[in-house]
């Protein structure tokens, strides 16, 4: 069977590569919905390593970051997900996509980096072929829209294999951080008011039980923070509220609260410093974390004294920061947990809420 249709297959390949205008490869990509994002994870590109720009570099009017939820036992495929459309710094974002390295360039960089450490890599690194098996809940893509009627360029990102593909080109890397940095700047240019609620009068123990997913703090900032984030609050703050609770039976009851009136730059800095993971490198080149704690993670442990800081940033996102004061000390957020609070943060909380 293969022998009989081999000529047909060869003819199709010749048509694809010799006459792309007659049979444009981008027509084989995923279908887009009204929001400009793929409607299903089907329709992926085949691998290829043609040289040149990953996507057409001129004429783009917007770039959309799309995360299509994949089917799980709890959720059907195609459930709603935030669509982020970048309409500023578009040319710079297209340049980021086109700067993603080819296989040859990335291999050369890896070999040079390892050679500097005295290590020699093998002949075949299998980049993009030997992949991890992380169960991502979404299919990630970037869609470049053009203003002259051209078909949108859909770049499909495989986070397990580290590849970004469009048509017959494969590049390596994940441009999410580069996109979200520009997207946050776009949102920050038109700040949204943060609708911070007041402190709850009481907190049931189940609501702050860190041994269950529903007991972790709220973190709306996570959606636009990016996979390579190092700063918990990347955007300036627009509001902050501090709450102090003390254990009374099975409930944590509100004892003091304060709507922080000003100095939000300092508040952001205090929180970012206390939620950052600090490391030191020993003489052997091993990196060790110095400020982690498991305070509060034991199933039977509950705080007898707890401070909570609610913050809203210029993008309109809201995040909750919990600071355990007793019987042990720790800072927990929805994205970071078990870091030792700095003395400066604890002192500021006491200045706001009393000792």
- Listed as ranges, residues in the chain with pLDDT below 70 are 1-28, 72-81, 114, 121-123, 125-126, 128, 284, 299-300
Distance CA 50, CA 300 (A): 58
Reduced to 3 states (helix: H, G, I; strand: E, B; else coil), residue 218 is coil
pTM value surpassing 0.85: no
Cβ partners under 8 Å of residue 71, min gap 6? 77
Q: What is the model's pLDDT at position 72?
A: 60
pLDDT digits (tens, 9 = 90+) for 34-71: 889 998 887 778 777 888 999 999 999 999 999 998 87
Reduced to 3 states (helix: H, G, I; strand: E, B; else coil), residue 97 is helix
Q: What is the model's pLDDT at position 143?
A: 97
Distance CA 110, CA 89 (A): 30
Distance CA 333, CA 339 (A): 10
Q: What is the model's pLDDT at position 123?
A: 67
Q: Strand runs (DSSP E) across the chain, as ranges?
A: 60-69, 84-86, 138-146, 153-158, 163-166, 169-172, 202-204, 237-248, 251-259, 279-281, 287-289, 305-313, 318-326, 330-332, 337-339
Q: What is the model's pLDDT at position 82?
A: 78
């Amino acid at each position: 069977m293969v022998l009989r249709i081999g000529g047909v297959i060869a003819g199709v390949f010749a048509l694809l590569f010799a006459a792309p205008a007659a049979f444009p490869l981008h027509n084989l990509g995923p279908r887009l919905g009204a929001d400009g994002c793929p409607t299903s994870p089907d329709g992926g590109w085949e691998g290829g390593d043609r040289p040149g720009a990953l996507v057409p570099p001129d004429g783009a009017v917007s770039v959309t970051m799309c995360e299509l939820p994949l089917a799980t036992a709890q959720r059907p495929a195609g459930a709603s997900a935030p669509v982020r459309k970048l309409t500023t710094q578009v040319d710079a974002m297209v340049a980021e996509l086109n700067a993603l390295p080819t296989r040859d360039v990335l291999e050369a960089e890896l070999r040079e980096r390892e050679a500097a450490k005295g290590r020699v890599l093998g002949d075949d690194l299998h980049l993009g072929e030997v992949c991890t098996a992380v169960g991502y809940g979404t299919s990630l893509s970037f869609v470049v829209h053009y203003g002259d009627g051209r078909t949108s360029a859909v770049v499909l990102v495989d986070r397990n294999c580290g590849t970004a593909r469009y048509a017959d080109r494969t590049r390596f890397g994940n441009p999410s951080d580069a996109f979200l940095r520009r997207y946050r700047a776009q949102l920050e240019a038109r700040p949204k008011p943060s609708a911070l609620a007041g402190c709850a009068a009481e907190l049931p123990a189940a609501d702050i039980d860190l041994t269950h997913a529903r007991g972790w703090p709220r973190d709306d900032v996570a959606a636009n923070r990016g996979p390579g984030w190092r700063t918990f609050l990347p955007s300036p703050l627009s509001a902050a509220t501090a709450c102090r609770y003390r254990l009374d039976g099975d409930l944590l009851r509100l004892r003091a609260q304060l709507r922080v009136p000003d100095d939000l730059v300092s508040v952001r800095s205090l929180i970012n410093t206390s939620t950052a993971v600090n490391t030191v490198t020993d003489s052997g080149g091993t990196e060790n974390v110095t400020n982690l704690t498991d305070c509060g993670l034991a199933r039977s442990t509950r705080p007898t004294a707890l401070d909570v800081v609610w913050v809203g940033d210029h993008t309109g996102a809201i995040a909750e920061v919990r600071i355990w004061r007793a019987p042990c000390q720790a800072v927990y957020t929805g994205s970071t947990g078990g870091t030792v609070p700095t003395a400066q943060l604890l002192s500021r909380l006491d200045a706001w809420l009393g000792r």
